[in-house]
Structure 1
Amino acid sequence: MSSAEQAHVDRPTGPDLRSGQLRNLILATVASTVGFWAWTVVGPLSKRYAQQMDLSSSETALLVAMPIFVGSIARVPVGALTDRYGGRVMFTVILGITAPLVLLTGLAGQLNNVAVLLIVAFFLGIAGTVFAIGIPFCSAWYEASRKGFATGVFGAGMVGTAVSAFFTPRLVAGVGYLPAHVIIAVVVAVMAVVTWLGLRESPVRAGVVPQPMLPKIRHAFTLKVTWQLCFLYGVVFGAFVAFSNYLPTYLNTVYAFDAAAAGTRTAGFAVAAVVARPIGGVIADRIGPKIVSLVSYAGTVVLAMVVAFQPIDEVAYGSTFLAMAVFLGLGTGGVFAWVSRAAPAKDVGTIGGIIAAAGGLGGYFPPLVMGATYNAEHNSYFVGLTLLAVFAVVALLLALTVRNGGRVDERVPA
């Protein structure tokens, strides 16, 4: 055997990522879609709750935002637990817990008691933590040059918000309020079983020794990049979550759409953002996440101000909202493509969970702000939308300072 042949034989080979990576990515994305549907099941029915329980705009906003709060905070420990136990276990556990919570949401709504519904909606927020599971799970299945693609495709599970906006009001209208929640709960439970039977961990996790959760979280918070990406993601994903949940209320208040019509338009918004997200991830793989993020924030600034002036013609405000959804989707894909580049490999799940939590929190406060700053005299949300533009400007400036924003071959070692 020649020396060249011997060198070829002795060269260490990495784990086989090709076998099963696409299947696991698709299955995780479907699981995320179902989780997001459950997470946002309250928003499309906000008008119903407001009428039945005689809620003010602020009370309605609080009800819509409640699941977002827990779904945001809980992403931190869930991301760390995913590093420890893997995505297969965590997807199964979270979806398994979510199914009865969806059913309890339906039962609470039947009582017409806002306090009980708020409590159940608070715990329903755990469904939103599926995002913190899928990012490290899917990222581990792909090589460095394709991690943006992987996280972008998985992020398309945000389409669950569109599914919720479109189907939830129609299910309620077709089969009744409580039976609709039973159907959704069954879908979630079935998905929990499917993830346990169908998902497999990436071979790169083989031999990984689990580490205590709290030290990993504390370490992640000591890294500058964690805080930088938290703010960047909080703006783009927060705006997406806020609009996906509050847009039915906004469209009903400003343009007098009923629940089904508002839900259809909200679904269109969500789908546009979902389609744009993997595109943002793929582009980030090619030219780097920094440029993608800068374009996203610049577009958001302009379009938020256009919406703030409340165009009268539906073509005008409809196309503006769709364009904003595209820019937000590109930004969510671009920023999360940054995580696996700038974060140490062993901390991707933990840091990803913290950043995902920041994104969720970014979606928690805007509905409250929109409800609190609503000008009933002029039927206007100008203040809230202007604040979105201001935060997008700050994010644009911050994006200029984050490291590892170019192409993969231009990375600075972490």
Structure 2
Amino acid sequence: MNVDPPSVASSGSEVAPPAVGPTRSAGLMLAVATVGFAVNFWAWALLSPLGPLFRTEGTLGTLSESDVALLVAVPVIVGSLGRIPVGALTDRFGGRVMFPLVSAATILPVLFIGFIGLRSFDALLLGGLFLGIGGTAFAVGVPFVNAWFPPERRGLAIGVFGAGMGGTAISALTTVKLYTGAGERTPFLLTAVALAIYTAVAWLVLRDAPGRKPPQGSLLTRVIANAKLPISWQACVLYAVAFGGYVAFSVYLPSYLKTAYDLDAADAANRMAGFVVVAVLMRPIGGWLSDRFGPVPVLAGCYAVVVAGAAVAATTPLLEHVGTVAFLSLAAALGAGSGATFALVAKVTDPARVGGVTGLVGAAGASAASCRR
């Protein structure tokens, strides 16, 4: 694998100024960005926990398993492909502009689903299409955080930011309970309020790292140039396994547990939340281990665990003990592998192109998830 430093990467672009050190401001930017990632992922994952309910309660008509799969896959596909232009736009305009913009744009589809989309399958698909905007927040945060930290701290910093994917756990733990107990619109209203508050906070607090220099050239030119970099395709393959596997489990695990183990919707969602929590906690650990030992050895170890865990889970073992250990081992390895992948990207990519490369790699990971049904 090519791990040449950014200075010899075949990008042909001017290398951005070195990132500033991990100052108090850098810590604040990391914290606010991580919260924003979590809130946007909370919105992005709203439909997944409700999938089994939509099939059984009949408010949307008679839905097949394929209908439910399509319903939860649409936001994933849009959110994954949308990361490509959003990552390139973040390189150009900075996270200070793009974070509040993406968060504000996600409010409308959340409200549309809560007030209109729940009445018909077609309307829900339309809402899910635009709900995918929330999934693009990842391509905003990685270059934003990367610019605030020096190379020897970027693995941990990006891993901490990546823990914001725990927003899917918030959705898993709260959506079904709020939908059935407090009214079907409640989870969508709460998410919209959280997005609105974060939009205001991000606009007032976030600042791009000192010395950030926007790249030159058109959006299309930069996307094509980023796609030609060897690290883009190397990291795409790695992330398709790591984060693609995580998203696939977090989106489809409730339906799988309900079908394979006859769990009710709430129990399945709670178990999926446990899977997500383990993966979230391991993501910064994967980044930290990459700073310490290098990303390539960490990735090799993570994928060895994935192979072993998947082999056991494929036999549909008893959920207690053996099945639980297999699924949680998968969660730990996929979470750490996701953190290590972007530690590798930060290590070998020109800082001025991290957003564009992140968009491509993030798209590969989430797109792989949507194809694993």
TM-score where L is the length of structure 2? 0.92
Match of 2:166 in 1: 159
Is 1:99 matched with 2:104? no
Matched residues in 1 for 2:116 and 2:307: separation?
Answer: 39
Contact 1:83–1:210 under 8 Å retained in 2: no
Query: Any conservation in 1 of the 2:90–2:98 contact (CA below 8 Å)?
Result: yes
Alpha-carbon distance, 1:276 to partner: 0.2
Alignment check: 8 A CA contact 1:140 1:204 kept: no
Once the two structures are aligned, what percentage of the paired residues are identical? 44
From the superposition, tell whether residues 285 and 71 of structure 1 become closer, same or farther in structure 2 (CA, over 3 Å): same
Match for 2:69: what amino acid? Answer: A
The equivalent of 1:231 in structure 2 is: 237
Question: Please, which runs of 5 or more residues in structure 2 have no aligned partner?
Answer: 1-16
Aligned residue number for residue 218 of structure 1: 224
1:179 Cα deviation after fit = 2.5
| Higher radius of gyration, 1 or 2 | 1
Alpha-carbon distance, 1:83 to partner? 0.5
Equivalent residues in 2 for 1:6-405, closer than 5 Å: 15=20, 17-51=22-56, 52=58, 53-111=61-119, 113-205=120-212, 207-208=213-214, 211-367=217-373
User: Aligned partners of 1:118 and 1:92: how far apart in 2?
Assistant: 25
**Structure 2 CA distance for aligned equivalents of residues 296 and 222 of structure 1:** 27
Partner of 2:10: none
TM-superposed CA distance for 1:110, in Å, is 2.8
Letter in 1 for 2:27: L
Residue-by-residue CA offset, 1:136-168 (whole Å, 9 max, x unaligned)? 000100000011011100000010011111111
Distance 1:190 1:262 in 2: 30
Cα gap change, 1:102 to 1:13, in 2 (>3 Å) = closer
CA distance in 2 between partners of 1:66 and 1:301 (Å): 28
Structure 1: state its 5+ residue gaps: 1-11, 368-414
Structure 1 length as normaliser, TM-score?
0.83
Return the alpha-carbon distance in structure 1 between the equivalents of residues 334 and 142 of structure 2.
18
Q: Contact 2:21/2:148 (CA < 8 Å) preserved in 1?
A: no
Q: Please, what is the CA RMSD of the aligned residues?
A: 1.6
Look up the equivalent residue of 1:22 and give its one-letter code: G
Counterpart residue identity of residue 62, structure 2: D
Cα offset, 1:15, TM superposition: 4.7
Shift in Å at residue 107 of structure 1? 2.6
Q: Secondary structure at the match of 2:317?
A: coil
Aligned-partner residue type, residue 80 of structure 2: S
Compared CA separation, residues 255 and 20, structure 1 to 2 (3 A): same
Amino acid at match of 2:331: A
CA distance in 1 between counterparts of 2:218 and 2:308 reads 45
Displacement of 1:344: 2.0
Higher relative contact order (CA 8 A, sep 6+): 2
Contact 1:84 1:211 in 2 (8 A): no
Number of corresponding residues: 354
1:254 counterpart letter in structure 2: A
